[in-house]
């Protein structure tokens, strides 16, 4: 079970397969096990070396309680630390939702470490624009705890899959509150998009109401980006439905790897 230390926090990662490297980071409240559960590992490991990361505050990685420990630049540093530990000089990076924020920032600040970037379920706009929603999420974790948040979520959206439920229940509520607060500090990279020449694939479900209109606009401003709208899929389904999403990812990887 490999770990690397990044700014005093132990970051857990797993490596599968062989071939050109692809680095993966999940969304908030999940863990790297989701890439196995959804089929990314099975679908890609025969042709690529896959590096799956537990973002700090999630899975088996360390979970500090200070929101400053979760700022985007720190999560980017975690990815670079994992790449260095795994002996990966350059890779394609895939990020879903929160991992997409990391991906946009990587492409802006460290293009020399990327062969390509895949962003699923995220745009490049500042998260300060939805500060109220983010503060609600952080407050819920602080006041209700993990089980309270999960019960509220189940009432609103239905039950999680068994694997995702287990990962959710393993979370530290104070770490998640801090992580949400840090998300609200991201200024975005919208102004830098025309300078971000890394080949990019941006994927959003057409039922993902928060990102379906802004993400294609962002992709159109990037020199080497392609946008894919996934018919009938919402935010989470654009990650889970690998039967629909992996063909697009596989095509992109074959072009840039």
Beta-ladder partners of 52 = 14, 24
Q: Which residues contact 180 (CB under 8 A, 6 or more apart)?
A: 28, 134, 137, 138, 141
Total domains in the chain come to: 1
pLDDT digits (tens, 9 = 90+) for 169-194: 999 999 999 999 999 999 999 999 99
Q: Is 241's pLDDT higher than 90?
A: yes
Residue 174 within any structural domain of the chain: no
Q: Kind of pairing, strands 9-16 and 225-230?
A: unpaired
Q: What CATH number is associated with residue 219?
A: 3.40.50.1820
**Coil, strand or helix at 145:** helix
Tell me what percent of the residues of the chain surpass a pLDDT of 90. Answer: 97
Residue 153 within any structural domain of the chain: no
Rounded (to 5) percent helix, strand, coil in the chain: 50, 20, 35
- Distance of alpha carbon 121 from alpha carbon 204, whole angstroms: 5
Residue 225 within any structural domain of the chain: yes
What per-residue confidence (pLDDT) applies to 131? 86
What per-residue confidence (pLDDT) applies to 210? 94
pLDDT digits (tens, 9 = 90+) for 115-168: 999 999 999 999 988 989 999 999 999 999 999 999 999 999 899 999 999 999
Say which residue, 156 or 76, is predicted with more confidence: 76
Residue 169 within any structural domain of the chain: no
Q: Is 57's pLDDT higher than 90?
A: yes
Q: Is 1's pLDDT higher than 90?
A: no
What per-residue confidence (pLDDT) applies to 129? 84
Q: Residue 33 is part of which domain span?
A: 3-128+187-256
pLDDT-derived band at 8 (thresholds 50, 70, 90) equals: very high
CA distances from 32 to 11, 14, 46, 57, 207 (A): 11, 8, 18, 12, 25
Residue 146 within any structural domain of the chain: no
> In the numeric block, which tokens belong to residue 78?
């975690």
Average of per-residue pLDDT values in the chain: 97
Beta-ladder partners of 5 = 10
What per-residue confidence (pLDDT) applies to 240? 98
| Best CA proximity match to 19, nearest among 253, 251, 239, 252 | 253
> In the numeric block, which tokens belong to residue 162?
């068994």
What is the average pLDDT across 242-246? 98
What per-residue confidence (pLDDT) applies to 161? 92
- Distance of alpha carbon 185 from alpha carbon 52, whole angstroms: 25
Beta-ladder partners of 116 = 92
Residue 31 within any structural domain of the chain: yes
DSSP 153-221: HHHHH-PPPHHHHHHHHTS-HHHHHHHHHHHTT---SGGGGGG--S-EEEEEETT-TTTTTHHHHHHHT
Residue 37 within any structural domain of the chain: yes
Residue 168 within any structural domain of the chain: no
Q: pTM for the whole thing?
A: 0.97
What per-residue confidence (pLDDT) applies to 208? 97
pLDDT-derived band at 257 (thresholds 50, 70, 90) equals: confident
What per-residue confidence (pLDDT) applies to 235? 97
């Amino acid at each position: 079970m490999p770990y690397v230390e990044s700014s005093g926090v132990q970051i857990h990662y797993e490596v599968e397969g062989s071939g050109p490297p692809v680095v993966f980071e999940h969304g908030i409240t999940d863990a790297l096990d989701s890439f196995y559960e959804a089929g990314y590992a099975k679908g890609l490991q025969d042709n690529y070396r896959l590096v799956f990361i537990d973002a700090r505050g999630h899975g088996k990685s360390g979970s500090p309680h200070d929101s400053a420990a979760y700022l985007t630049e720190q999560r980017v540093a975690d990815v670079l630390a994992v790449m260095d530990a795994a002996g990966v000089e350059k890779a394609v990076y895939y990020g879903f939702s929160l991992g997409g924020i990391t991906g946009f920032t990587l492409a802006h600040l460290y293009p020399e470490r990327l062969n390509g970037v895949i962003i699923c379920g995220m745009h490049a706009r500042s998260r300060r624009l939805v500060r109220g929603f983010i503060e609600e999420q952080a407050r819920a974790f602080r006041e209700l705890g993990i089980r309270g948040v999960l019960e509220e979520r189940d009432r609103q959206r239905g039950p999680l899959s068994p694997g995702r439920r287990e990962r959710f229940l393993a979370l530290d509520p104070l770490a998640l509150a801090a992580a949400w607060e840090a998300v609200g500090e991201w200024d975005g990279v919208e102004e830098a998009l025309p300078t971000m020449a890394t080949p990019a694939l941006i994927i959003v479900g057409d039922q993902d109401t928060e990102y379906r209109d802004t993400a294609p606009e962002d992709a159109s401003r990037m020199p080497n980006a392609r946008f894919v709208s996934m018919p009938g899929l919402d935010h989470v389904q654009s990650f889970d439905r690998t039967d629909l999403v992996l063909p697009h990812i596989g095509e992109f990887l074959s072009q840039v790897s």
